[in-house]
Every structure is written in structure tokens, then in C-alpha cells.
Amino acid sequence: MFDLTDKIALVTGGSRGLGRAMVLALAKAGVDVVIASRKIEACEAVARAVEALGRRALPVAAHVGQWDDNAMLCERAYDAFGRVDVLVNNAGLSPLAPSLKETSEALFDKVIDVNFKGPFRLSVLVGERMMAGAGGSIINLSSSASFKPEPHFAPYAGAKAAINAMTVALAKAFGPKVRVNCIAPGPFLTDVSGAWRDNEVMKNALGLKRFGEPDEIVGTALYLASSASSYTTGTIIRVDGGVW
């Protein structure tokens, strides 16, 4: 049920953190991967790691917050491989403003563009092609912040809550051939965790009393990518160590 041999996946934000972990896990499971992020050098480094595992890789520099870049990314993937079986909308960012009042319009728009507008546009472009073909699986990445929002990251929490809503809406739009699901990660120890990785109070507030390691996201991703989840769509799976 978990066999993914010769499938094609497109992973945004695939050059580091959770995205990189999912790219390498998919490659180990037999998947050829399109790796997208803003910096081509970082994509190329992960592509070499995928190729070392015996799979094909296509690194693409794309800014998912820009409407036209999503169209370009979709075209590059289909030109190279002819189809996309799995789309992982992982790219995201969570910059903080000095205060709610000091949140600039530019910062607000940037958070919404990357965390919501981009995944929406790319999901629609790829989902329509999946519908016209053999189907597929779309996996969105939300956040535990969408369930437990705090004032200092209100725009980010709002964008991720929008991803939760979009997951259900697109599951209805693209079913039954395309399954659309969502992973809501909690605090993981990636390269963007420097501001809080030593926060013992935050750690001890979690059910598991520790932060997640990037490889701990891949089991859920592989489940949703494969036919093991063939009767699962429109759902949000929390992988957060117990954010209550």
C-alpha cells in the first residue's frame, strides 16, 4: 500500500527543513522529484542527493508567492516528467512584526502570498491536470498555529487556517480522482528554529516534552502520498508533539 515506485512528486520549499526531509524520503520510496525553492543552488544540492539515491530530480527556482512563478513551475514539471502524481505544498515563512500595530502592509502581503496564495494557485493548476489524467494526491502543509493562534503571529496563523479551509474545498472540487489532505506540523527543529529551540517552557508545554526532528514528518507524508490513504481526503493531520 505504501509503494510509490516511479511516481512523480513536486515539492515546494524542498531545499531545506521539512521539505528536504520529505524530498529525500520520497526519493528513497522510489519517487522522482521536482524540487522548488527560491534559490536554485539549494535546489541543485538536494537534487544531487536525490540522484545519489538512484532517482531523477529536477531543481527549479520559483517563488511560490508570485502567481506567474506557479504557472512556470507547473509547466516545468509537466514538460520534464509528463505528469505529477504527488504535490506537496510545503513552502512557507513566518516573519514577525514588532507588534500588531507595526505590522506593515508589505509584511502582511508577503505572509499571505507565500503561505496561502501560492499553495492555492499551484494546487489549482496541478489539481486540474491530475483530474484530467490518472488522479493524484495533494498534500498541504499547515501549522499548529492555525489551531492555537497567538497575537505575535496573527497573519501567519490566519494564512495557515486558510490552508485548512482550502484543503477541504479542493478535496470537494477535485474528488474523487484527486485526494487533498493537510499536515499541520508543530515545532520542528529546522534551520528556522533558532529563536525558540532552547525555550524549555515551550518544550515542556508539549505533550511529548520535546521538539520534532525533520525526519518525523515523513511517515505522515508517505502515508498521504501513497494508496495507504486511499480513503482519506479533506483531512488535517496534526504532527505536533501534542500542542494542546
Q: Which three cell numbers stand for residue 191?
A: 534551520
- Three-state secondary structure call for residue 14: coil
CA distances from residue 200 to 1, 149, 209, 243 in whole angstroms, order as listed: 39, 20, 9, 14
Q: Which residue has the cell 532552547?
A: 198
CA 229 to chain centroid:
17
Q: Which of 78, 156, 223, 231 is catalytic?
A: 156
DSSP-derived secondary structure for 73-129: HHHHHHHHHS--SEEEE--------SSSTT--HHHHHHHHIIIIIHHHHHHHHHHHH
Q: Which residue has the cell 522548488?
A: 36
8 A C-beta contact, residue 75 and residue 85: no
- Three-state secondary structure call for residue 27: helix
Q: Helices 40-52 and 17-28 sit at what angle, rounded to 10 degrees?
A: 30
231 a catalytic residue:
no
First-to-final CA distance of the chain: 32
CA 194 to chain centroid:
20
Catalytic residues: 156
